[in-house]
Amino acid sequence: MALGVWCLSPAFAAKEMLFCNFNFDPDWVPLETQWLCKFFTSLLLQPMTIFCCVCLHNLQTQTLQDSLDLFKITAHSTCCCCLDITGMSFQDSQCKKGNLMSYLILEYLEELRFYDCNLSTQQWMNLLSKLCAPSLRKLTIVGETSMVAVHHFLCQHPNVHVICFRLCTAKDATLCSGGLKLPLLSSLKGSPSQALDLLQALPLQPTIGKLVIKCVLPATS
C-alpha cells in the first residue's frame, strides 16, 4: 500500500535500487508478493527505467513458478539491469509431471546475483534451467550452489564477462570437459575446485584478465 502511495506522489522518481524485504513468516509472503506485483504493474505507466537494481530479500515461496512469476513482473516493469536474490527458497523440489513452465526471458538483465539461497541440487537445476538473460554480463553466487546447474546455465549464456563465487561451496562437481564456450570471460573468482571445474569445461581458454582463487579454511575450535 505504501508503495502505491509513493508511486502516485509528486516526489516519485527513478532510484538506483529497490530493496524488498519479505517477511520471515512464509504465510505472509503471498500477500506481500501480491502487493509488490500490483506496485510493479503500476510502473508500466512510467516512461523510464525506474530502478537500476532490484533486490528481493528472503524470498520464500510455495513453488518455483511463484518465484518465476515475481521475477518476470519485476524485470518487465522496472527494466532493471541488475537483480539480487537473497535467502531464496521454495518448497517443490522437482518439476511435477505435466509442468510446462517455459523459459523466463529477462531481456534487460546484465547482472544476476544469488546470496545464501537454501536450494537443493535439483532446485538449483530447476531454477537456472528456466532463466534466460540474453544480455547477461556478470553472474555472482554467494553460498552453496550446484556446479552442474551453473554449467548448464553458462552454456546458454556465452556472453558472460564476469563469474564470481564467494563463500561458496558446491553440492556437486560438473565432472565434464568441453562444451562450455565463454569467449568474453575476463574475470573469474572462486575456490580451486570451482575455478578448475569451469576452466576444464572450456575447450579454448579465454583471455582472463583477473583470476582470484580463494580457499575456504575449516573453522577452528
Residue 97 has a pLDDT of: 46
- Alpha-carbon torsion (72, 31, 38, 36), positive or negative: negative
Over residues 79-91, mean pLDDT: 93
Residue 100 has a pLDDT of: 58
Whole-prediction pTM: 0.84
Q: Which residue has the cell 500477500?
A: 31
Residue 91 has a pLDDT of: 84
Over residues 85-98, mean pLDDT: 74
Q: Which residue has the cell 546458454?
A: 156
Is there a contact between 152 and 174 (Cβ–Cβ < 8 Å)? no
Residue 99 has a pLDDT of: 55
Residue scoring higher pLDDT (176 or 67): 67
